[in-house]
Amino acid sequence: MDVSPPVGLLAELTHRCPLHCPYCSNPVELASRSAEMSTEGWLSVLSQARELGVLQVHMSGGEPLLRPDLPALVEHASGLGCYVNLVTSGLGLTSSRLDDLVSRGLAHIQLSAQGATRERADLLAGAKAHDRKLAAAALVKASGLPLSLNVVLHRRNHDQLAGIIELAERMGADRLELANTQYYGWALRNRDALMPTAAQLAAAEPVVRAAVARLRGTMEIVYVVADYHEPYPKPCMYGWGARQLTVAPDGTVLPCPAASAISTLSLSSVRDTPLADIWYRSSSFNAYRGEEWMTEPCRTCDRRGLDFGGCRCQAFLLTGDAAATDPVCSRSPARGVVDLVLSRPPASDLVMRR
Ligand code: SF4
Ligand code: FES
């Protein structure tokens, strides 16, 4: 099959993080500091990615500000002609660090928040973080960079949705991403505590719709649905190995950020294989490209060009078979697994990310 070059690179510079969010989708086993790639390693990844066709680089983590070489990596990526986005908790962002990053070509900042009020947000972050995020947002606005605010939604903060939208307005965010929790990595452990109720989702709909209409032209709002509650799955990654690649802190190259959970996948590392070889020829990137791998009911389904059979990671985590139809799909023989999760009473304890 014809394989197009990737458009985006998610560069997970480190798994280290000052926050302890219970919805963290990073793997349960994190890469240690000693396993992280060197500056030279990352510079090479960025050069190879650009050569491959990548135009957008998202520097993420963990907390990418914990890497002292972040300015050099930003400068290198922007010098190659890439649009560089920093995905950050905001902790550790000072005026001088931001000025330095801007002077080196940083183009955009995506800041996370955990709730609308300090009390709730700090509880969910497991750290005194909210006020520091407000300060970070003010710095970003003063710098003139575009600001996106990302808030992961779940049972413990859906009631603050209107306040979260107000918070984004107060921050002057250009874009607000309201993303219901996706259950990968650490978040899967907390699924029964984080799953929003159908009533919460129904209440959210008019609030989001009204805000979208009211703020059109001022702030773009993106709402990521709670897929377990939907009849059809999300078009995850817009298809496997289709648009974006992820490089983990230790150099493992992933077709999607959660793919290390698929234990049947043989993953390659950029430490020993060129990025282009991995993108075009590796077994991991080719495993679920196109439609050949599909089983029924996806193989003959009229929606397979819309959702690509859903999410491979979710299929693996819920059925043990990464080639199965995403069990979120109402046409999947395994949909009962999802319905069972939705029927369970909520768990009261959140296990904070360690
Ligand atoms: Fe999508 Fe497969 Fe479900 Fe069809 S059967 S809607 S292709 S997940
Ligand atoms: Fe990996 Fe969906 S999260 S394919």
Q: What is the mean pLDDT of each run of 10 residues along the chain (354 residues)?
A: 95 97 94 96 98 98 97 98 98 98 98 98 97 98 98 98 98 98 97 98 98 98 98 97 98 97 97 98 98 96 97 98 98 98 93 92
330 CA distance to ligand 1 centroid (A)? 8
304 CA distance to ligand 1 centroid (A)? 6
Any atom of ligand 2 within 6 Å of the Cβ of 328 = no
Binding residues: 17, 21, 24
290 CA distance to ligand 2 centroid (A)? 15
Rounded CA gap, 88 and 74, in Å? Answer: 14
pLDDT of residue 348: 86
Binding residues for [4Fe-4S] cluster: 17, 21, 24
Rounded CA gap, 174 and 181, in Å? Answer: 22
183 CA distance to ligand 2 centroid (A)? 10
Query: Amino acid identity of 232?
Result: Y
Closest atom of ligand 2 relative to the 261 alpha carbon: 1
Closest atom of ligand 2 relative to the 184 alpha carbon: 3
Any atom of ligand 2 within 6 Å of the Cβ of 313 = yes
Would you say 221 and 208 are in contact if contact means Cβ atoms under 8 Å apart? yes
Mutate which of 252, 312, 318 for ligand 2? The one with the most ligand atoms within 8 Å of its CB, which is 312
Burial class (CB in 10 A: 0-12, 13-18, 19+), 3: middle
Domain ranges across the chain: 8-229
The CATH class of 8-229 is alpha beta
Rounded CA gap, 231 and 193, in Å? Answer: 22
Any atom of ligand 2 within 6 Å of the Cβ of 124 = no
Whose CA is closest to atom 1 on ligand 1? 309
Cα angle, residue 87 at apex, residues 83 and 90 outer, rounded to 5°: 130
The enclosing H or E element of 109 equals strand 108-113
pLDDT of residue 354: 84
pLDDT of residue 1: 82
Rounded CA gap, 151 and 220, in Å? Answer: 14
Burial class (CB in 10 A: 0-12, 13-18, 19+), 38: exposed
Any atom of ligand 2 within 6 Å of the Cβ of 188 = no
